[in-house]
């Protein structure tokens, strides 16, 4: 394997640097909509499936309630979504998209797509990157699970 004493030979550093560039890209795209990247992830999850519980949303996004609750509250204040306590089980809080989120879905996703295209990433390269990153993520999770056992 590579020489692990060099910063530039660290896979984690390459991922870190790439994540930083993605943060810049998404910040520039989402700022005109008044959204942060984590809020965008909430919208993506709800565009896939609306009317989910806070717990389901947290599980899908791998976020705890301490992170998710204030974010959902801010998004509700800004008109993106609403939360309602279940009448059948008051322990459950459901999250629903508001019209603003539906209205802006196409324009937001179009802007993200345009920015990715400006990076000169072809559709096939995008799929390959997704496959490889998902594979790496799975390997790291398996290692973590094995090490913790």
Q: What is the pLDDT of residues 52-111, one digit of tens each?
A: 999 999 999 999 989 999 999 999 999 999 999 988 998 899 999 999 999 999 999 999
Tell which residue, 53, 18, 23, has the closest CA to residue 40.
23
Laid out side by side, the sheet with 52-53 consists of: 52-53, 93-97, 81-85
Q: What is the pLDDT of residues 113-146, one digit of tens each?
A: 999 999 999 889 999 999 999 999 999 989 888 8
Q: What is the pLDDT of residue 1?
A: 58
């Amino acid at each position: 394997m590579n020489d692990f004493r060099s910063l530039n030979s660290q896979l984690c550093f390459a991922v870190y640097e790439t994540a930083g560039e993605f943060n810049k890209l998404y910040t520039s795209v989402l700022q005109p909509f008044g959204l942060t990247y984590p809020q965008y992830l909430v919208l993506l999850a709800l565009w896939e499936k609306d009317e989910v519980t806070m717990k389901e949303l947290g599980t899908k996004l791998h976020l705890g309630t301490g992170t998710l609750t204030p974010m959902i509250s801010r998004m509700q204040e800004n008109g993106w979504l609403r939360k309602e306590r279940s009448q059948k089980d008051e322990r459950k809080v459901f999250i629903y998209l508001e019209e603003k989120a539906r209205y802006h879905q196409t324009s937001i996703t179009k802007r993200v797509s345009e920015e990715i295209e400006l990076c000169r990433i072809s559709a096939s390269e995008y799929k390959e990157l997704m496959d490889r990153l998902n594979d790496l993520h799975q390997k790291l999770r398996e290692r973590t699970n094995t090490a913790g056992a």
